[in-house]
Amino acid sequence: MSFRALLTEKAEDGTVSSAVQTLEDSRLPEGDVTVDIEWAGLNYKDGLCLLGQGGLVRAYPHIAGIDFAGTVRESDDFRYRVGDPVVLTGWRVGETHWGGFAERARVKGDWLVPLPANLTTRDAMVIGTAGLTAMLAINRLEWAGLTPASGQVLVTGATGGVGSIAVALLRRLGYQIAALSGRPQHADMLRSLGAGEIVDRTEFLAQPDKPLESARYAAAIDCVGGEVLGKLLRQIAYGGSVASLGNAAGIKLDTNVLPFLLRGVNLLGIDSVMQPFDARMAAWSRLTGLFDLAAYAENVEEVGLAALPDKAEQILRGEVKGRVVVDPKR
């Protein structure tokens, strides 16, 4: 048996390139469940993997794709039978283990979850790692005390996958939302998803820095890190929290202790990669009731495997809006 895949290889001179190839099933890595992939998603990490950046891929040749959904083809795991629809996100699949940019994958059963009820495999990838991460962030903020009555919530990197879904979910939950973005041309998109205020990133960063700034936001979901995260911490109201889940703007954090000591601000780290099964299922369950797939549809782009190298460059440049879903048969 064989399958199509986007195989990423590294030449002796260090150049990394990807091309669609036909591979034998015998080349699939170890695992106890084989899945016929119907849809995958494109994420920021996938851009890094496809372009050989960030040190995420340790061995070549490689198949990227950190999330996918499909149907069980073979299984040695009692929890999954042939024909079962399943979803995979995280567990460093697509980084250290061959991932979803292929028609087939072999993985550990521990890394899978059953496809949530009322979702198609395409629906699951419109949501994907981005939606799961956004839901985990909201759950954590609410655990820390956030309610719609608390005040305005800022979402940074709001036009990307995680940010845009976070805006849509917060709206369904009744929150007031400010959306920070460096792409003013997408302001209408953000308003349609539920943002009541659009914050220009350049103007946000140009404001004079102080150890503490005016308390503007009850909480924030930060998808970018770096300078933006350092500044927004100083603008969180007393007892508020920031859910930190991305580093597209850098991994360094320039801040001071005053937001924590004088306002009791909480900085909450959100990891979607190693989340245990029960937490994943709880997030997926809540997503299926909250996320309006029809309202989000115009922010979804479908591509085939061959288009992914170009899309990888675009997502790293911050030029991808919403979600990109991948049909491995194209």
Structure confidence at residue 209 (pLDDT) = 87
What domains are defined for the chain?
2-115+299-327 (3.90.180.10), 129-269 (3.40.50.720)
Structure confidence at residue 42 (pLDDT) = 98
Euclidean distance between CA atoms 323 and 330, whole angstroms: 17
Give first-to-last CA distance, the chain, whole Å.
19
Structure confidence at residue 200 (pLDDT) = 95
Burial pattern 297-315, b for ≥16 Cβ within 10 A else e, equals eebbeeeebebbbebbeeb
CA distances in angstroms from 87 to 97, 110, 198, listed in the order given: 16, 11, 34
Structure confidence at residue 122 (pLDDT) = 98
Structure confidence at residue 95 (pLDDT) = 97
Structure confidence at residue 150 (pLDDT) = 98
Residue 194, amino acid: G
Q: What is the mean pLDDT of each run of 10 residues along the chain (330 residues)?
A: 97 96 97 98 97 95 98 98 98 98 98 96 98 98 98 97 98 98 93 97 92 97 96 98 94 95 98 95 95 97 98 95 96
3-state secondary structure at position 208? coil
User: Residues in the chain, how many?
Assistant: 330
Structure confidence at residue 84 (pLDDT) = 98
Residue 231 region, left (φ>0) first, then alpha (ψ -120 to 50), else beta? alpha
